[in-house]
Every structure is written in structure tokens, then in C-alpha cells.
Amino acid sequence: MTTEQFHYTIPAAKSATGKAHKITLPPFKQVPFGIMRKVRRVDPGEQVFEIFDQLVDKGKLSPEDSEALDVFTVEEIGELMKEWQEHSGADLPES
């Protein structure tokens, strides 16, 4: 398990600003328990959104980084989540 922040670069071609944008997230295994507790009762289709919204509310993800993700497709968010979990050594159940 790593304790280092997870960094993900949105390429300039994909970025809403036309410039590469680097987002920073805490290691997945260090997402506060309160966030995961709140997310567990949310509809599965909404859980990813709720995780990111809660991270912004808790100051663990900047609003700018959250907005930068708005250009992603569902598939791209899935890839980001997979890389974020792998970075931390976290395993999530298969859906």
C-alpha cells in the first residue's frame, strides 16, 4: 500500500482548457471512512460522483480538479478509478 498522493494527467487534447491538467487524489485506501460510509447507501450508479463530491467537500480534491473531470466519458472515469485503486493497492468488488 502506498501513502503517496495519486496524480493523473488529463491530456491537453482532452482538457476543457486545451492545456494538460494534473489532478491529485489521496491514496484510495486513505479516503476517509466517513465518505465511504455515506457512499455505501447511494445508488451504485451515483457512487463515483458522490465519492468525488465528498472529496471536494472534505478538501481532499480541489474544485478545479473535480471540474476538470467533467470532460471524461464513463469509460475514462472507470479507467481513472481503476488506476487510482491499483496505485493504492486497493481491491474493489467486481460489479
The pLDDT of residue 45: 83
Grid cell at residue 33: 471512512
For residue 44, what are the contacts with CB-CB under 8 A and spacing of at least 6? 95
Q: Which amino acid is at 37?
A: R
* 85: phi then psi, degrees, rounded to nearest 5: -65, -45
Split the chain (95 residues) into runs of 10 and give each run's mean pLDDT: 85 86 93 91 89 94 92 90 89 55
